[in-house]
Amino acid sequence: MMKEVPQNVILIGMPGAGKSTVGVLLAKAIARDFLDTDVLIQSKTGRTLQEIVDRDGHLTLRKIEERVLLDLQLQHHVIATGGSAPYSPRAMQHLKSKGVVVFLWVDAKTLLQRIGDFSGRGLAKTPDQSFEELYAEREALYEQYADITIDAAAGNHDQVCHAILTHISR
């Protein structure tokens, strides 16, 4: 018999790791609602992430993201966070108090193959920061906050979902 699934399952990782796609599959598999916090930010601000970064800068996007995450009072959800969520210790502690944090790890080379051009993704990074520098900086943060790390480059979305289910139902 499977152990009860944690209250919320929070997915963290780089853009292109599959948080949104895997999140929807996982939510269906465990009969939970799904929330993509990037979409929530866009609906609350009426702007895309890229528009926020272009007009107000990456630090403004991080502040908006922190506020949105701290305001979440959800139960029984799968939550896909934005890639920069771990820059806010307060937001990450809040999320960890509400469920299990799953880091979808993907190597930088695979992410670049999946996404190609990141310039329109609304990345919360300094203008002169390379993708590789951003990856190295964020990977340490993801590992710091993760309760579970899943190799999301090792299979397709269904296989990644299955790996998460295996870990959270132990």
Superfamily of the domain at 8-168: P-loop containing nucleotide triphosphate hydrolases (3.40.50.300)
- 130 or 71: which leads in pLDDT: 71
Sign of CA pseudo-dihedral 72, 37, 109, 157 = positive
User: Starting from the edge strand earliest in sequence, which strands make up the sheet with 8-12, in order?
Assistant: 33-36, 77-80, 8-12, 100-105, 148-151
DSSP-assigned letters across all residues of 106-128: --HHHHHHHHS--TTS---S-TT
Per-residue pLDDT tens digits for 33-89:
999 999 999 999 999 998 998 899 889 999 999 999 999 999 999 999 998 999 999
Is 0.85 topped by the overall pTM? Answer: yes
What percentage of the chain reaches a pLDDT higher than 90?
72
Residue 43's Cα: distance from chain center in Å? 17
Look-up: residue for tokens 């790791």? 17
Structure tokens at 137: 């900086």
Q: Contact, 23 vs 155, CB < 8 A? A: no
Residues 6+ apart with CB under 8 A from 91: 65, 66, 69, 70, 85
Residue 125's Cα: distance from chain center in Å? 16
Number of H helices, E strands in the chain: 8, 5
Look-up: residue for tokens 């329109």? 120
Per-residue confidence at 5, pLDDT binned at 50, 70, 90? low
